[in-house]
């Protein structure tokens, strides 16, 4: 059904962010329309074409097939606290309406004092009954992770879990043996050929599942089942168009033990969807969309990427990634053998 997708009519956006997040201050991406509605293609600039092809697969699923039926009407979410000062961190958590907060840590090599102050501020904001999780994006070595986790756990009055403290599965397993805090795997699952390896290695207590880079809702449900761990659905920093696929995944998961990391529209200056279709949380919850949301033409015009060189870069990238995706789609697996479709 990709021949029914309007690849020539893509809309490229650039939305400023309210704080630096994952090293960027402007979020860029593309909206693509198909027979089932709109999808979003927004892999980060440092991802190669092979990695980005999974992001395109999610876009194509959304705008041609839609999603499986949900098993719940709404999902709890965490607020996301970027690497900001303690006053701003307190404000974000206190005003979010969420009972769970995900706090970014390890923003730079000497960040521990800042991280501790940020976590303490968030604890003060959400109270002792709230849950705090931290995300290090895999930058620590084992010894650093153990030292920092113990101090952050103390500052938080108990952490719910630590997300991706180190990069490799072996490192995660080593950290998990040395601390009394749950370890969650993110990159180790979505970038792995075999997500079950994380569970077999005893490397994590929680699997963070991001549908956008995994290749769609249906593929993500397979990964979640293979991982064999409690799952948290988390955002890839999309607008409501792409975020809707993540929420659809959370709605379709058989079990939900933790709040989802899908309250990330608060990190952007604006959305591309208006009104009730915009996926902004109310009192710490998001409703499950049944169909992809429709972008607002006025917002598309306001946040259209105007730099011609950067727009050309995105179009060239899409063309390359489409070729990768179409090549992969020519192959199918039958009884363990690869054969042409």
- Binding site for Mg(2+): which residues? 135, 163, 186
| Angle at which helices 112-126 and 142-156 cross, to 10° | 30
| Contact of 20 with 292, CB cutoff 8 Å | no
Q: Which residues are annotated as a binding site?
A: 135, 163, 186
Residue 259 near residue 77, CB atoms below 8 Å: yes
Catalytic annotation, pick one of 102, 178, 210, 341 = 210
Judge contact between 99 and 122, C-beta under 8 A. no
CB 195 within 8 A of CB 220: no
- Nearest alpha-carbon partner for 241 in 99, 55, 72, 94: 55
Report how far residue 146's alpha carbon sits from residue 190's, in angstroms, rounded to the nearest whole number. Answer: 24
CA 169 from chain centre, in angstroms, equals 19
What is the rounded CA–CA span in Å between residue 57 and residue 67?
Answer: 13
Other beta carbons within 10 Å of 306: 9
3-state secondary structure of 147: helix
Among 102, 104, 154, 178, the one annotated catalytic? 104
Q: What is the CA radius of gyration of the chain?
A: 20
Is position 341 annotated as part of the catalytic site? no
Number of Cβ within 10 Å of residue 72's Cβ equals: 12
Q: Is 210 a catalytic residue?
A: yes
Catalytic machinery residues: 104, 210
């Amino acid at each position: 059904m990709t021949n029914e997708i309007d690849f020539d009519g893509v809309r490229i956006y650039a939305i400023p962010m309210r704080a630096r997040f994952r090293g960027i201050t402007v979020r860029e991406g593309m909206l693509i329309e198909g027979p089932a509605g709109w999808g979003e293609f927004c892999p980060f600039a440092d991802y190669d074409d092979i990695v980005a092809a999974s992001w395109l697969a999610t876009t194509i699923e959304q705008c041609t097939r839609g999603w499986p039926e949900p098993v719940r009407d709404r999902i709890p979410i965490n607020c996301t606290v970027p690497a900001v000062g303690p006053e701003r961190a307190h404000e974000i958590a206190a005003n979010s309406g969420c009972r769970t907060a995900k706090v970014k840590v390890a923003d730079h090599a000497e960040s521990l004092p800042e991280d501790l102050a940020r976590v303490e501020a968030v604890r003060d904001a959400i109270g002792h009954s709230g849950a705090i999780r931290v995300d290090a994006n895999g930058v620590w070595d084992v010894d650093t992770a153990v030292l920092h986790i113990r101090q952050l756990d103390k500052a938080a009055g108990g952490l719910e879990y630590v997300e991706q403290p180190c990069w490799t599965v072996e490192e995660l397993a080593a950290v998990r043996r040395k601390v009394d805090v749950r370890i969650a795997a993110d990159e180790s699952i979505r970038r792995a050929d075999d997500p079950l390896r994380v569970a077999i290695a005893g490397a994590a207590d929680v699997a963070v599942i991001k549908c956008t880079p995994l290749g769609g809702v249906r593929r993500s449900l397979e990964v979640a089942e293979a991982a064999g761990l409690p799952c948290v659905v988390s955002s890839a920093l999309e607008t409501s168009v792409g975020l809707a696929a993540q929420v659809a995944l959370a709605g379709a998961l058989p079990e939900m033990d933790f709040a989802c990391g899908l309250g990330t529209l608060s990190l952007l200056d604006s959305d591309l969807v208006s009104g009730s279709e915009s996926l902004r949380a109310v009192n710490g919850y998001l409703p499950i969309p049944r169909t992809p949301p429709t972008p607002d033409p006025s917002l598309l015009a306001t946040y259209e990427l105007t730099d011609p060189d950067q727009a050309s870069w995105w179009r060239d990238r899409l063309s390359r990634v489409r070729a990768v995706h179409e090549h992969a789609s020519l192959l199918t697996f039958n009884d363990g053998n690869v054969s042409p479709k």
